[in-house]
Structure 1
């Protein structure tokens, strides 16, 4: 029987990409769901993965650290693949707390789980110990009123959620080749961007961070000139 494949690999200092690869038999063309684990004094997981894949995600977390050590569980916006297993993780990690923006807390998380979320405002720093993560509020980019991202200014990693969604199983954890072409081809098949009038300014806001690593939710993570890659995305959306 065809089943998803799970793996975990480092993509930056103290930063691990957990990937659940869905083969073409389960998802046309293949697809991947990525979670990112930052190991520090107060470990953080960005994305939980879908609830039905939680067992696979948990196994990969525990290859790096005991799941009960998690202190923060963050996500970009409310979707099954972003936070579908939030309740299951909170049940196993008694000291963990959801982390999200003000809108996400108000509209969803205060009701979805019993643990009060840590609400972060745009530009607020979350101190993990060695790593300093800065919340970037990006409403409706690419979608979701509550959407936002964390930028790890310690490693230059932008946890960029659904930006640069790539088709396929994302077997290479970290690449340096072009990811915009595949992600734009995927978007043209079924456009998931809201195309908000504020999108160009928000993309430029992220580009000014000059990230060195783009930790994508779907597909391979990418290493290189993140500012240029983000501006290329903005140009493609404008076209």
Structure 2
């Protein structure tokens, strides 16, 4: 569903009750990129990634095509960066009952000050019931970057909101794919390596793989369906020192 023909913003369901909001954007070098937000519709709806502040009109318009924006309850982020939480306060104003949702480190060092309402901080492994769906938080310090990084998985559909992992360039017209995304994401990383390459990176990715996600909801590029555990282990090998 195209929600803004001029910008190309579109919404597509990638798993039961989970919608990818996608906006293609031009880069200064003439290439194309994309920003995704994921809307989980339930009794207590959750948005993972707010998108940059400048995309707020497009993202809010897209949310409104799926559900009333004022119903939002949680605005989740992996780490503090414009595309993760740039529109946080605009969304908090649009959704009076919403609160930021993040890890304990992000709440302590940034979101307690940056957000207009106090955040709900989740501990590593903590689960949050939204209705038919339950999400689980994973602390992922410095994976791929930022001390406060964390990721979240919907335990019902086994959808992992994997943030900047598996970032793919291009406008990302296909919402959900079963084709290779590791190759394209590694090609992008070789041009601009966004990984911190911390000593515990491989172990954290392996721990995430053990939860066997079936859908990887990437922030940039197509979401992916398949054996997410195997793909995460391949990523761990790809970013390991050689």
Indicate the residue corresponding to 1:11 in structure 2.
Answer: 14
TM-score relative to the length of structure 1: 0.97
Of 194, 201, 207, the residue aligned with 1:199 is: 201
Q: Structure 1 segments of 4 or more deviating over 3 A?
A: none
| 1:190-222 deviations in Å (ceiling 9; x for gaps) | 100000001011000110011000000000000
CA distance in structure 1 between the partners assigned to 2:111 and 2:101 by the alignment? 9
CA contact (8 A) 1:109 1:117 kept: yes
Q: Give, in angstroms, the shift of residue 57 of structure 1.
A: 0.4
Q: Give, in angstroms, the shift of residue 23 of structure 1.
A: 3.8
Q: Which runs of 5+ in 2 are unaligned?
A: 1-5
Q: Give, in angstroms, the shift of residue 29 of structure 1.
A: 1.8
Aligned pair 1:22/2:51, yes or no? Answer: no
| 1:114-152 deviations in Å (ceiling 9; x for gaps) | 211001000000110110100010000000110001111
Of 59, 62, 65, the residue aligned with 1:60 is: 62
CA contact (8 A) 1:4 1:23 kept: no
CA distance in structure 1 between the partners assigned to 2:193 and 2:116 by the alignment? 34
RMSD between aligned residues: 1.3
CA contact (8 A) 2:35 2:83 kept: yes
Aligned pair 1:38/2:40, yes or no? Answer: yes
CA distance in structure 1 between the partners assigned to 2:30 and 2:56 by the alignment? 21
Q: Give, in angstroms, the shift of residue 22 of structure 1.
A: 1.1
Give 3-state SS (helix, strand or coil) of 2:117's partner. coil
TM-score relative to the length of structure 2: 0.96
CA distance in structure 2 between the partners assigned to 1:183 and 1:236 by the alignment? 11
1:231–1:143 distance in 2 versus 1, CA, 3 Å:
same
CA contact (8 A) 1:166 1:218 kept: yes
Of 143, 149, 162, the residue aligned with 1:141 is: 143
CA distance in structure 2 between the partners assigned to 1:166 and 1:48 by the alignment? 19
Indicate the residue corresponding to 1:109 in structure 2.
Answer: 111
Q: Give, in angstroms, the shift of residue 4 of structure 1.
A: 3.4
Q: Give, in angstroms, the shift of residue 5 of structure 1.
A: 1.9
Q: Which runs of 5+ in 1 are unaligned?
A: none
Give 3-state SS (helix, strand or coil) of 1:62's partner. helix
CA distance in structure 1 between the partners assigned to 2:101 and 2:114 by the alignment? 13
CA contact (8 A) 2:92 2:116 kept: no
Give 3-state SS (helix, strand or coil) of 2:39's partner. strand
CA distance in structure 1 between the partners assigned to 2:190 and 2:207 by the alignment? 24
Indicate the residue corresponding to 1:85 in structure 2.
Answer: 87
1:27–1:67 distance in 2 versus 1, CA, 3 Å:
farther
CA contact (8 A) 1:75 1:83 kept: yes
